[in-house]
Each structure stands twice: as structure tokens, then as C-alpha cells.
Structure 1
């Protein structure tokens, strides 16, 4: 039922185009494997085994890569700087096909002999495996490269702190105080430094240390330093069979044969994620992609959602927005409860954490005004999908009530209901509390403080959702006066003379920039605008902000508009919410549009995102953002939870079953 992701021929051997295409495997424990389909690494985050030591945070490069040599041809692909010259190693000249169904597989043809390399990860298995298939019993030599470092950093000077042991013929590498065991049916041996030689031209052969590695995406898109290094630590020789296994595992295994069981179980598990009653192939692919983001929360043995790969951890706002699509639409209701309980446990002063820092003992950051309000939306959707009122009554009711109480009396960052008009206000000109949250060296690029339009749409929904819950549980709803006050003042405050909604209102200013935030007043379950105003909001968002890949964060005609997300951190931060397209917003645009106009051809609005899913950036996923101008290239995280979640949600909720 699942379509196969495939790149072949010259498309695969075009080095430049493939630096923008990336595969991803995850293990449900915060770890992942990622790279380019031609065997290259165009990011510092690419690696055979990027392991999370405290799921889903503290990710380290546990195992950098494996490179093969067959029939005298080295199949490695990389770019490096040496002696002031750029050197490009092109082992992909022998590569004729890349597929991902479900595991990434690179297929080579060397003198009419086929060699296949398949990369494997299993759910809740702290391991990565590589399986080789070859139409010959000739020798394959595989070099194992290490580059142990934090995934966010580089290892330019090649500082490697590890110990190697051998017990009963099984090698292990001690990293970060833990052992990674190496299992293989090949002959594995340590590499000695004297193996490195030079040829007639002074070029290194059999290099042990490789320095000056260049990651193109770091330079081209992110304007970052990009010189890394790695060391060839082991050599594995395979000979005499047609199929071979290699596993690097933090669990002790029986033998290299365990890889076959891991592979079989993972394929079976992923098949069970499909909706057998829905023949829409893209929808079923999305269900499998959703699985990559749901992960163990080691701190409390719960579950959470990774906001995006390759660099994000779990964020409160992102989790609650992605929650419906990734977890409820895929009928993972037990995990839904664990996620809701996980974030409940970290609720403090009526606020959910914005994010969990990349450190085991770090305090969660509570600098969000909307993440907590999206929690009510998540609970509402949970009840809509499960009717499990008992869980909400026993586990969540007190937390929901506590959140409302804190928001009414006031909590961090001046977040408090204005008793004069019932609207929720928060922050100041130096804060970044909404989802448009960039702050660069103390400067909030889009401060959006005071009374922001989507924050108040979410606040209204929080009150209405809690009111419904109180009615169901026959409990007293204490906030009727705030609801009535809000309903009198929302449209009066936000509707401007041009017929659309102001983006935010402060005591001294009204911001009228045309942004997508107003769409939530029409898309969320409880709406407050007149039908005439709803239509005007949807129409202007469609006219000014809709693109084939989602909604722009700012209209083109605005003086602050920036059409390309590229360059150093400052340039990227400035552009992040000033015109950049956000794909997750397409879900709420479709909701709002159908609320106003009735049924639409959803495939028309998702066609380009579908093509992107199969062909560009994160293969089998959807990018976090896109440039605000054509050709709208995918940027940011190549696999984003709420991007997949929202497309999956509208497919499910609009009941799209056609192929």
C-alpha cells in the first residue's frame, strides 16, 4: 500500500541536488540515523548513529559512518578542504538507485556486480544496523569511522575520548560512560595508524584521520563554520557469502543475526500503523512518518513528541499542535494519555514548558503564552477522538482549572486577563512569548506583546472547552463572567476598518500587519466572529498569504517582508517570521476555509506538499519552513512534527480516501 521513495540514475549522481535531500530513521528513543541518498553528509547532524543519551535530548555522534571498498572501488562520498584545495570524493559514480521502503537502501553497480547497503533501526532498540547484499562472494572491505561529539558541534581537531575492549571476540567502544557493542559476521580488526599512505600525487590513501570535512548545507544555507574530522577505527572484511550484517548496539545482543529479527519486527510494526480501510497511499505514508516523532521521555518514563529533526528537542507548543495529527489520527490513544500526563507533570504556575533544554539537570523554560493554551485544544481533541472523559476527569481536570486560575490572577511575563475586557494579555516589547518567538541578542524580532489575536482565540477556546467539561462532569463553571466579557470585546478590539483582524494590540499601539495569526479565530473549534468577518479574514489570508506550501508569516507588500531564509544566524532569525512560509498553518487554513465555504478539493491545496514529501528535503517528511518567494525551497528542520501532523490531521478529519 505504501509508495516507495526512489531516486535513480543521473538524479542520484547529481551531487549538488542531493545535498538538499535527506533520509531519516528514528528509534523512538530520541536517536536517529540520517544522511544524503548518495552517501554524502551535507550537515554536521548527519551520522549513522546519532544517539540520545537522555531521550529525547543529549544527542551525540555515537557512530559516524561506514565506507565500503569493493573490487578496488571506494564508495565513500564526501567533501573536504586540504592544503587550501577543495577535494570531492565521488564514490556515488557507482550508485544507481536509492530507495526508502521503509529503510534507506543504496544500490551500486560495480562492473555489473550489484552491491546493496541497507540501514536499519528498530523501535525502542538502542542500536543501528547495516545489511549488505552482493551478487558475488568476493571480498568487501568496510571502514568504520568515529567522530564522537555533541550533535550540535564540530570536531575540527579530532578530539576523541573513547576506550576499546574485546571480549569473546566482540569489540566494544566506551563512550560517555556507556558501551557500544559491535556485532558482525565479517572479520573485524582495529586500524593501525601506520596503515595510512600517500600515492604518487601526494594524495592520502587508506587514511586513518580525515580532517577538513565540509558540510555544504552549513555553509550555503546557514552561513556557519563547517570543518569537521573523523577517524577510521575499525576495518571489517566480508567474504564468501552474499549477505552480511553489522550492528552497533548499546544493548548486549546474541549475535549479528539479531539484525534480521530487528528488521523483521520493525517492518511488521510499521505495517500495523497503516489504516487498512483507507486506500489513500499518501495518507498512509503520513501515518508511518508520524511515528518518527513520537518518543520516550526518559525523565519520567512517559512519552513526548520531538519537534523536528535534526536539531530540535521536545517543545510544549509544538507537541500540542502536532498531537492531534501524529497521535490521535493514528489511534495511538495510550501514548496520547502518556503525552498529556507528561506535560501535566511539568505544569508550573499555570504554564506548560516551552521547551526542555538539552541537559539532564536543566530547568525547563516557561517562556510561552500559547503552548499552554494549545494543551486545552489537545484535550478537546482527545475527547473528540476517544470519549475518554474518565481519564480527563481523574488525571487532567485539576490541572486545567489551575491553568485558568493562574491566567486570570496573573502568572509569569505579565500573562493575565484584563478585567476590563476579558482579553488575555502578556509580555512586553522585549519578550517573545507567541509562536513567532525569535529573539536575537536581546532583541525580539516579532515581539507581539499585549493582546495577540491568536492568543485570544486560543484563550476563548480554553474557556469554552473547560465549560463543556464542567457541564459533562456536572461541576460548577466559575468563569461565565469572563466568557461574556470576552465575547463583547474580541471583535471590537481586533477588527479593523479594512475588514481583517489586527495582529496584536498594546496599550499604546495597534499592529495591523497582515499575518496568518488571525486565521485561528476562524479555524479553532469555538468561533467568535460574525460570518461576514470570518469570510473577510479567510479571503485576505488566501489572497495575501497562501502559497503552495502553507501560509506566509507576513505579506509580500509589507516593508518588513523577507523572502529568503538563508545566511548566518542573524539573517535567518530576522527572516524566520517575516515572510517565511510555515507548512503547519495549511491545516488551520483548510479548517477555516471549509468553515466559511464548505467542502473544498483538499488535494489541490496539498499537492505541492505531497510532491515535496516524496522528492525534496526530508525524504518521507515535510520541512519546517519554506522560503517566502518562489521556488519556495524547504528550509529549517527537514522533518517537522507539526508539518506532518497538520497535513495528516486534515486528511483524516476531512475523510480523504481516494488514491
Structure 2
């Protein structure tokens, strides 16, 4: 596969490594994340991160390994590592010949006149991580390996490393040095660029020795809570893992399923779960989809859902999201379309509670107004998916009546009507249809500029400047069927989006001609948050865009989008993942999470149906 491999240039570390990243994740939530070169540059890079119950959350266990090839008492490192203040060493390390992600991460390295292959595997339960080495070409050599370990939250680095007693180490070789060492000043240059702690110390409990000879494999593994698990590596996978499966987890406490919003740092988010669920789980895992929806229905409170489930368990769950509950109802509709028998009373009550909560009014100023549209907003939160909060407050508060919330409300009412009529509830179904008709009228009467035909982003906005900017949120309204808008309005606004927001990696979040547009995503968190929804490109918006294209122009036009978004499809094929965001400005450098659930899910759902078998 083709990989990006710029790891030595300082400019490569703006928000994401200058090389390709790979991810292996287990259903337990345990994961490994690394780079094509094998050089760690994030605090999240490591061979084993384990997901433990709160308050521990996800714990980094095995971040690095030192590998030395010894020939005639001359040592050559197989790879390089970053050390503070700014050293990539050793300079005379072996040469990486190739890296392949599929069917397992594999590196071919030339060093000391030998060609060595390194491979990585993870056990099915994610409790064990295995490194395997074999000699591809050249005479016998000795391989010396030091696992460099820690025990910390994967979010924070430490200068006081330790090895937890639950950690187990196994190997096929011998112990060359049983003395424990501390490796100081390990540097994570990406975290430095992102404004976070970026230097840590690591424990090296021992040095292992292996005799590398032809037709023989050496291995070392590390595990947490392994128990009776075998000490031998699992079989080599026959094919690459399904890219959708990495985000679907099972909680160890009760075996309930969930969807991780993105690796490495996101947990479960209500909005992300509902957007990603159809593309990740339908139609092939409808039973799991129903379990996820039941779990979230049980968390509903006054028609609202939690915005985020925290892996560290710190504080009560907040319901500061106006779209997640409506997206829950939309996901229920998607489940009903492929597996209506999976809809049970828990899910139905969840839908009814959301519709009733919005109609009656609930927290954060969320209520249905006299014009049939949903109003939402308070002085503290940004309640739509454009939810970034900078030191000065919400960057895109969108307080008022956002067009995407109006469209989601119409869709939710259609699902409510269908569920009611499934059980013969004519009165409930009629109420849903009446509410939907009012909302459709409101969309037509309130959101269309009578002079230009442009669709507004927010009406009755607390800040009038938020009403008219061109943003991709109008795509949800363009996709409504039946549409509240005449055809010329739909064509005009779809053309506006394509002229100003469309890129090969997704859609910009703001017209580049707007004075608030930010074309580059990077820097510390405050700088990134100010760019997050002010021009930054999001691949998940390919889904709403494809839905709008289908509604306005038909299925054939959607098929043509594979050419438009060829770079994203290529990234999915090569990496098995899609980034969270890209720069608004060309060449659209990737940023954010290197593996985002809704990016994968929406691309699969709309333009890569061959994966949705």
C-alpha cells in the first residue's frame, strides 16, 4: 500500500503525524495504534491500550519497544524513536523497506546486511499484544528486544512510570538482561504541536534475546488479565478486518454494546452513535443495533439523551445536545426499515418520550415553537453538532431554530407516525403527521430567502450574523422526502453547496468567502476549536450530501460521487479508517482523530455499499 512517511520534518507535526497510521481494535475497547515507520509520535501510540472500568478508563500499557540487531558484536537498531528535546535517534537505524496494514501490520526492515520482518497481532479479546520477528534474508543474527512499558491513562503522560502487577510478559527467546531500566524523556511531537504534555519516562523491565535464523519465528507478547489465555500468537488473519467493526464494543461489566466515536481519544457520544449506527451495523448486525438503541433509550431523560459517556466516570452525564435525540429516532427508523421485528417497547417508549419532550419543551430551551419549528439554545452550550467551545464560549452557538434540527424533527415525526401505525395507533399517528406538516410549512415559509432563494442556516437567531452563512446543515433539509421546497430552490441550494463547500475529502463547514472562515486545522486546543466548524472539512458530511443528491437528482447521481470522493475511498481501502477532519484549504491535510466512526459509517452507507453486505 502507499503510505505517507514524513516523520523527520518538524512541519509534519501540526496536528497529525506526517505518515500513515494504523489501528487494530478489539470488541473489548482495547486497541493498538501506530505508524507506518513504527515510530511513536502520539501519546496514544502503543502496542497495547486496555479499556478498564471507570475511573481508570483506557490505560496505555506498552507504548514502545527497543529492537537491536546484533551481528559480530555490532548493534544496529531496527527503528528510530523520538526523545526530548527534539531528537529522532539513532541516525544509523535500519532502513524501512515497506509497511503493509493488511492482513496484519507488517514491516520489512533492512539492517546489518539482513532483512527482518516484524509483524503485529492482537488476541481476539484484545488482552494480549504480540510482536513477531523472522529473518527474511541473510545469515543468522541475534535480536535484542526491550519492551518499554508504563501504566497511565492514554490521555496523559507521566514522569513516574510503573508496571502494574496485572501485566504479564511472555516470549519465545531468553532473558539477556533482567535489570530494570528507566528510559527518560520519550517525546511525543504530535502532542507538543497540539499543546498537551508530551514528554514521559518509560520502564524497561528486561531485555530479551532471540536467535534469528531462516524459517523460524520469534515472538514476544504482553497482556493484562490474561488468565488462562494461550501464550502462543493467534493465527495469521486471512483478510483485513471489517473497518466498521473497530468502533463496536462490548462493555465488560454487562456485555452491553456501544459505539466508540473515534480512536484514540473519543468515548461514546450520543450524536456520533446515532449518526454512525446505520452505516456500521445495518443491515448485517441489526440485533446489535437494536441493543445499542435500547441502551440509549434507557438513558433518556425528559426527551433528551446524554451527549457523552465518559470513560473516566467523572461527573454526571450532560444532555447538552438538541440533535442526538432526534438522530436516535432517525436511527430507529433505519432499523425499522430493515428489521422491524427488532423494535420493542423500550425503543418505542424512547421515541415517544423524545417526541413528547420536544413538543412540550425540555431543558436547554429546546421546544417546538408556534411556527412548528424546534427552537434550541442557552447561553452556555452549542447544542447542534457544531458544538466547539473555545475560551470565549461557543464558537458556533447557532441559538435559535437551526435548519438541521428542523429537518431532523420532520424525520423523527415520520418515524413516530410509522411506529404508531404499526400498532394501530391512529390518533398518535395523526398527531405526528399534523406536527410534521406544521414543521414542513415552517421550513418553506421561514428558511427560504425570498430574494435569493438561499436557505438560511438559522432563523430567529439570537445573533443575526448566524442566520445566513452557507453551511452544510441545509443538506438535511434538501434530503427530506417529501420535500417542503420547490425544485428550483433545491437545485439552487445544492449547487451553492457544490460550488463553495465540496472537496474531495468531504464538505467544508463554512463558505471560504465568509470572514470567519479558517482554512487550516491545527495548533493548540483553543486554536483547533475555533477552526473546528469554521471551514474545516468533515468526511461524515458525505452522507448528508449523498442523501441530498439522491433526493434532488436520483440514484445515478449518487453513483457518480465515487469519483468525486475517490481520495476518501482510497484512504478507507488502504488504512481501513478515515480521519475525523481535513483542512478546508487544499491540499486538505488530515487532522483530528485518525479513525472516526461516523466518517467510515457515512461513506459506507452512501457511496461504498459494497462494504454493507
* Same fold by TM-score greater than 0.5: yes
2:298 match? 345
1:213 match? 186
The counterpart of 1:256, out of the listed 222, 225, 231, is 231
- Change in 2 beyond 3 A, CA 1:40/1:190: same
1:391 match? 342
1:64 match? 63
- Change in 2 beyond 3 A, CA 1:251/1:55: farther
1:233-258 deviation per Cα after TM superposition (whole angstroms, max 9, x unaligned):
2211122762022222222235422x
Q: Given the alignment of the two structures, is residue 608 of structure 1 paired with residue 558 of structure 2, yes or no? A: no
How far apart, in 2, do the equivalents of 1:240 and 1:583 lie? 44
**What is the Cα deviation at residue 453 of structure 1?**
0.4
In 2, are the aligned partners of 1:563 and 1:579 still within 8 Å (CA)? yes
How far apart, in 2, do the equivalents of 1:57 and 1:647 lie? 33
- List alignment gaps of at least 5 residues for structure 1: 163-172, 194-207, 272-284
The counterpart of 1:409, out of the listed 360, 368, 386, is 360
How far apart, in 2, do the equivalents of 1:80 and 1:656 lie? 41
- Change in 2 beyond 3 A, CA 1:248/1:605: same
How far apart, in 2, do the equivalents of 1:66 and 1:564 lie? 34
* 3-state secondary structure, aligned to 1:490: helix
**What is the Cα deviation at residue 620 of structure 1?**
2.5
1:49-128 aligned at under 5 Å gives the runs 49-54=48-53, 58-71=57-70, 72-81=75-84, 86-90=87-91, 93-128=94-129
- Change in 2 beyond 3 A, CA 1:110/1:56: farther
1:590-632 deviation per Cα after TM superposition (whole angstroms, max 9, x unaligned):
22112212212122122121233456xxx32111011010110
How far apart, in 2, do the equivalents of 1:486 and 1:57 lie? 45
How far apart, in 1, do the equivalents of 2:290 and 2:299 lie? 15
- Change in 2 beyond 3 A, CA 1:74/1:239: same
1:308 match? 262
**What is the Cα deviation at residue 225 of structure 1?**
4.1
Output the aligned Cα RMSD.
Answer: 2.4
1:235 match? 207
How far apart, in 2, do the equivalents of 1:254 and 1:550 lie? 43
In 2, are the aligned partners of 1:19 and 1:41 still within 8 Å (CA)? no
**What is the Cα deviation at residue 509 of structure 1?**
5.2
Q: Given the alignment of the two structures, is residue 25 of structure 1 paired with residue 24 of structure 2, yes or no? A: yes
In 1, are the aligned partners of 2:121 and 2:130 still within 8 Å (CA)? yes
In 1, are the aligned partners of 2:40 and 2:188 still within 8 Å (CA)? yes
How far apart, in 2, do the equivalents of 1:357 and 1:344 lie? 17
**What is the Cα deviation at residue 484 of structure 1?**
2.9
* 3-state secondary structure, aligned to 2:406: helix
* 3-state secondary structure, aligned to 2:49: strand
**What is the Cα deviation at residue 27 of structure 1?**
1.0
Shifted more, 431-440 versus 392-401: the winner is: 392-401
In 2, are the aligned partners of 1:76 and 1:90 still within 8 Å (CA)? no
In 2, are the aligned partners of 1:122 and 1:263 still within 8 Å (CA)? no
- Change in 2 beyond 3 A, CA 1:611/1:527: same
In 2, are the aligned partners of 1:328 and 1:382 still within 8 Å (CA)? yes
**What is the Cα deviation at residue 525 of structure 1?**
5.3
1:435 match? 385
- Change in 2 beyond 3 A, CA 1:552/1:238: same
- Change in 2 beyond 3 A, CA 1:111/1:86: closer
**What is the Cα deviation at residue 306 of structure 1?**
0.8
- Change in 2 beyond 3 A, CA 1:57/1:607: farther
2:458 match? 504
Shifted more, 111-120 versus 52-61: the winner is: 52-61
2:170 match? 183
Taking structure 1 as the reference length, what is the TM-score of the superposition?
0.84
